[in-house]
Structure 1
Amino acid sequence: MSDFPISLAGKLVVQFGGSGLLGRALAADLARAGAHVIVAGRDPSKLADLQTDAATAGHLLTATAVDITDEASLAALRDGLLDQHGRIDGVVFNAVSRPMAGLNDPVAAWRDSMETNATGLLLTARTFGNAMASAGSGSLVNIGSIQGMVGPNGFLYEGTEMISPPDYFFHKGGMVNLTRYLAAQYGPKGVRVNTVSPGGIFNPAKPPPDAFLQRYGQMTMTGRMAHAHEISGAVAFLLSDASTYVTGTNLPVDGGYTAK
């Protein structure tokens, strides 16, 4: 039996991007919720320990290789999963590339960012969205950011070396509206599309400066940054049968940051 508050028992969920702090937490928690999670990325060897931990806990999690900027690679993954499992119940798009460090970086970095965060998003959404639409059901959850909802706050970064690059704001903002577009396209075919927009997530392995933590806490209603596992519940809810009438929405999970 699942030890997660929301059940995804019996569902096959494909998660794109799983080697980072949030991606690893999401993959582990969706498996805990009972889903068979296929974590797809360019280097599945980075997820070997995550797969081992899931197996030890009696959960189903499989790491596999894919290039989301290559439509043939995505189609091969889709077809292989359909051949093996007969269905795809949910997709989580958590892949992200952040090559830019500031506004005046070479434009090549902007173009490189577009490959994953824009082109990769569209290719993934339609490759797997079309498959779920053909089956008449499914849920696509895009992982956005509050930085796709608001502008940068320079106050947070004063006196630190932390950066706020333009490509991330552009792509996460575009993701929210592409979500609405896809929801309109796929809704009549039984597929729901939503975005979850996390606030800042605390990384214990690379903690931000104390000044940033204090300022960020003041910007929220909870007085702190999020922990990675606190994002999982919203994603699991949108993948689950508890949200069958929720589509085209952007759900901030930000401790009240964007509500202040």
Structure 2
Amino acid sequence: MPNFPISLAGKLIVQFGGSGLLGRAMALDLGRADARVVVASRDPSKLSSLVDIARDENLKLEAESVDITSEASLCALRDLLLEQHGHIDGIVFNAVSRPMARLSDPVTAWESSLSTNATGLFLTTRTFGDAMAQAGSGSMVNIASIQGMVGPNQYLYEGTEMISPPDYFFHKGGMINMSRYLAAQYGPRGVRVNVVSPGGIFDPDSPQPDAFLHRYNPMTMLGRMAHAREISGAVAYLLSDASTYVTGITIPVDGGYTAK
């Protein structure tokens, strides 16, 4: 089993969104940190290979069904986990919908993304935030993006088919400030709320175009894109007892991109 430097032993962590490159890496690493991880998805069958990897590594990881746009579905999952385990110690909101490609797309695409990225975020954090607040402790980590912190650099995409859709910038920026709001609301009841904002993540199975990499890499201080597992440490830290006085912050994990 790969080593992981932070301990989440005894904690039940619910991660929303786990079928993508980053979601899979985070879920496995939280398991390697000795957490019991529940990965919640509208279609748990898409997580079967993730569960298989976790089983091979003897990790405590399982998949559950949920529709984050439905308050009833979220409450049902919350109640099930409380009945089974007696506590929920943290959540990671990594769910995202990206139906838009450009500013000229029909408004229906904009409205579609709102249901997951805005309403879904609100319902999920309220449903599970209230449960943790009732217990008097807990940690929420929302996965945003550096694209919620800075404007798009169109130069990066020249000569490629890559896009910078408007809904993504809107939702990730809104997530950061919503997290500050939630931190203020839940802080007096023992629940911390923070954000991790990844920079560009290299996908070895579907590499970004050379033209993009040639421009993007020098924009960072480390001269490269992130590997998916390099985001997990910040997430685990914010879920752990090492960060009990940390709330309302955004940690950019971007190789120095936003610091230049």
TM-score range (shorter-chain normalised) is: over 0.9
> What whole-Å deviation, never above 9, does each CA across 1:99-141 have from its counterpart, x for those lacking one?
0000000000000000000000000000000000000000000
Q: TM-score, normalised by structure 2?
A: 0.99
Question: What's the counterpart of residue 53 of structure 1?
Answer: 53
> What whole-Å deviation, never above 9, does each CA across 1:165-217 have from its counterpart, x for those lacking one?
00000000000000000000000000000000000001111111111101101
Q: Is the 8 A contact 1:2 1:34 kept in 2?
A: no
The answer to whether structure 1 residue 88 and structure 2 residue 104 are counterparts is no
5+ residue gaps, structure 2: none
Alpha-carbon offset, residue 2 of structure 1: 8.4
Paired with 1:56 and 1:207, the residues of 2 have a C-alpha distance of: 27
Paired with 1:156 and 1:48, the residues of 2 have a C-alpha distance of: 35
5+ residue gaps, structure 1: none
Three-state SS of the structure 1 residue aligned to 2:10 is coil
State how 1:13-28 maps to structure 2 within 5 Å: 13-28=13-28
Question: What's the counterpart of residue 174 of structure 1?
Answer: 174
Alpha-carbon offset, residue 3 of structure 1: 2.7
Three-state SS of the structure 2 residue aligned to 1:238 is helix
Question: What's the counterpart of residue 71 of structure 2?
Answer: 71
Question: What's the counterpart of residue 205 of structure 2?
Answer: 205
State how 1:1-260 maps to structure 2 within 5 Å: 3-260=3-260
Q: Which runs of 4+ in 1 moved over 6 A?
A: none
Tell me which amino acid in the other structure corresponds to 1:47: L
Three-state SS of the structure 1 residue aligned to 2:141 is strand
Alpha-carbon offset, residue 53 of structure 1: 1.4
Shift in alpha-carbon separation, 1:188–1:2, aligned structure 2, 3 A = farther
Paired with 1:106 and 1:15, the residues of 2 have a C-alpha distance of: 31
Three-state SS of the structure 2 residue aligned to 1:247 is coil
Q: TM-score, normalised by structure 1?
A: 0.99
Q: Is the 8 A contact 1:25 1:229 kept in 2?
A: yes
Alpha-carbon offset, residue 56 of structure 1: 1.7
Paired with 2:56 and 2:28, the residues of 1 have a C-alpha distance of: 12
Paired with 2:52 and 2:89, the residues of 1 have a C-alpha distance of: 23
Q: Percent identity?
A: 76
Q: Is the 8 A contact 1:99 1:112 kept in 2?
A: yes
